[in-house]
């Protein structure tokens, strides 16, 4: 399975923005805007988690992740935290799932956490400047599309592992040469 690309992330951002703003404008006139916004956040987060799981190379634990996500979302919905905390909790779930399925070490996961913070900042800025759900979602998911630029693991640890393997290979060659020389010397007598 090929890795997600930035262009794919832009398409996801456009789709989420169009769908989210259409649903918000459709339902906010008949239902309380806060409830529609919370439902919209949960629905779009679930769709994004489903996208992430479909693009991941890891096959283990997908059903468990979806079940845990649904349970956590139900608990978050039940306790009704303030809207910003609600958003942060869903963003934390997205970060956790992306960290588990796309990164092999802590530092890329922390870089992704920073990217999540940046995307939330961009979305809040867009919401305050324009009041538009479309632009808010667009800014959020456009910054989220940059997660593909974060390497799965740091090259330094790969280089250290490769250097250790090279040293071990050189040692093994030297050891075999030494044993061959000792055998040769012992057969000369």
| Ranges of each domain in the chain | 6-151, 154-189
Distance CA 85, CA 75 (A): 13
Q: What is the mean pLDDT of residues 149-161?
A: 67
Calpha distance 138→15 (Å, rounded): 9
At 24 the pLDDT is: 93
Q: Is the dihedral of CA 54, 60, 62, 63 positive or negative?
A: positive
Answer for the pair 6, 145: CB distance below 8 angstroms, yes or no. yes
For the entire predicted model, the pTM comes to 0.76
* Secondary structure letter of residue 28 according to DSSP: T
Encoded tokens for 63:
């059903």
Q: What is the pLDDT of residues 159-177, one digit of tens each?
A: 555 555 666 778 888 888 8
User: What does the pLDDT look like over 111-139, one tens digit per residue?
Assistant: 999 999 999 999 999 999 999 999 999 99
Our measurement of the distance from residue 118's CA atom to the centroid of its chain's CA atoms, rounded to an integer in Å, reads 14
């Amino acid at each position: 399975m090929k890795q997600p690309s930035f262009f794919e992330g832009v398409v996801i951002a456009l789709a989420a923005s169009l769908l989210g703003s259409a649903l918000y404008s459709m339902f906010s006139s008949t239902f309380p805007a806060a409830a529609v916004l919370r439902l919209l956040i949960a629905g779009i987060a679930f769709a994004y988690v489903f996208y992430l799981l479909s693009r991941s190379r890891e096959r283990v634990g997908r059903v468990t992740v979806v079940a845990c996500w649904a349970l956590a979302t139900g608990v978050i919905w039940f306790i009704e935290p303030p809207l910003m905390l609600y958003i942060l909790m869903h963003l934390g779930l997205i970060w956790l799932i992306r960290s588990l399925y796309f990164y092999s070490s802590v530092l890329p996961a922390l870089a992704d956490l920073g990217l999540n913070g940046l995307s939330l900042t961009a979305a809040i800025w867009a919401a305050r400047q324009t009041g538009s759900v479309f632009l808010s979602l667009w800014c959020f998911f456009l910054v989220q599309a940059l997660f593909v630029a974060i390497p799965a693991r740091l090259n330094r640890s790969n280089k250290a592992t490769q250097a250790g393997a090279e040293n071990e290979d050189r040692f093994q060659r030297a050891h075999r040469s030494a044993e061959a020389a000792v055998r040769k010397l012992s057969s000369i007598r």
